[in-house]
Amino acid sequence: MPVEEFVAGWISGALGLVLGHPLDTVKVRLQTQTTYRGIIDCVVKTYRQESLLGFFKGMSFPIASIAMVNSVLFGVYSHTLLALTATSHQERRAQPPSFTHVFIAGCTGGFMQVYCLAPFDLIKVRLQNQTEPRARPPGSPPPRYRGPVHCAVSIFQEEGPRGLFRGAWALTLRDTPTLGIYFVTYEWLCRQSTQDGQNPSSATVLVAGGSAGIASWAVATPLDVIKSRLQMAGRKPGAYRGVLDCVVSSARQEGLGVFFRGLTINSARAFPVNAVTFLSYEYLLRSWG
């Protein structure tokens, strides 16, 4: 079993994640709160009230879990290609798989990673939305969750084990097709500027990886908004009854534009994050032979 693909998936994911987390926090806040006028307003308010640390809220669990999530994604992707085309990753440069196979493998990887990602993503979103500064003025109420573990335990106690998977269905719908698009875009762009049988250059990998991130996030953004809202709603009375209910009531109350909230920031974040993810992934796999 190609263990190195799982490890490469983890290290590359963690690097990308740290880089993109501040933008991710701004995005989550814009998608789920109505107090900000736009990106700049959100950045300024977050910085004033919570300092630079505010942008890094909710990062520790994603870093710890990206190991599992990305190794499932890249590992399942590679194993599905192995099953479909009978080629290992070393052989795939000489015998490239068809884009249909790449798409199926990407969707399979996307589908499988959701079940690892869902609880960690939920905790991340809940912590990112806590706008209380770390040093609170005396007398002000403490934030609802004291940290990731407290957050996980509280959700478990208040909403039961299923509560930890709130928004998981929306996440499945968001990630299954869009990770197919992700790997197809990456492979297609790499092959455009690489001679047959050769490894793509670092510049090619950076551009193809970054573009794969943008393409997949552009398609994923509407369901990303729905997912974040379902995750924040919890069991509050009047909360959405499900994905469809959330789609309909968000559109009714805020217009169709609501589905594109976070699109600019998702794209800005997606390029560097996924350029770094693919560059380190390719680099690690090559250096391990």
Ligand X SMILES: C[N+](C)(C)CCCC[C@H](N)C(=O)O
| Contact (CB, 8 A) for 20 and 273 | yes
Q: Which is nearer to ligand X, 112 or 143 (CB)?
A: 112
| Contact (CB, 8 A) for 12 and 284 | yes
Q: Which stretch binds ligand X (CB under 6 A): 91-99, 118-126, 162-170, 268-276?
A: 268-276
Q: Which stretch binds ligand X (CB under 6 A): 55-63, 148-156, 214-222, 242-250?
A: 214-222
Tell the smallest beta-carbon distance from residue 142 to ligand X (Å).
30
Tell the smallest beta-carbon distance from residue 146 to ligand X (Å).
26
CB hemisphere CA count around 232 (13 angstroms): 18
Is residue 178 a contact residue for ligand X (CB under 6 A)?
yes
Is residue 11 a contact residue for ligand X (CB under 6 A)?
no
Tell the smallest beta-carbon distance from residue 272 to ligand X (Å).
10
Tell the smallest beta-carbon distance from residue 195 to ligand X (Å).
27
Q: Which is nearer to ligand X, 54 or 110 (CB)?
A: 110
| Contact (CB, 8 A) for 183 and 77 | yes
| Contact (CB, 8 A) for 190 and 228 | no
Distance, in Å, from the CA atom of 139 to the CA atom of 141, rounded to the nearest integer, reads 6
| Contact (CB, 8 A) for 126 and 232 | yes
Question: Residue type for 220, please?
Answer: A
Q: Which is nearer to ligand X, 23 or 258 (CB)?
A: 23
Tell the smallest beta-carbon distance from residue 212 to ligand X (Å).
8
Q: Which stretch binds ligand X (CB under 6 A): 38-46, 51-59, 138-146, 211-219?
A: 211-219
Q: Which stretch binds ligand X (CB under 6 A): 94-102, 153-161, 175-183, 200-208?
A: 175-183
Tokens 């992934």 appear where? 281
The dihedral sign for the CA sequence 116, 178, 71, 2? positive
Is residue 175 a contact residue for ligand X (CB under 6 A)?
yes
Is residue 228 a contact residue for ligand X (CB under 6 A)?
no
Burial class (CB in 10 A: 0-12, 13-18, 19+), 227: buried
Give, rounded to a whole angstrom, the gap between the first and last alpha carbons of the chain. Answer: 14
Tell the smallest beta-carbon distance from residue 56 to ligand X (Å).
16
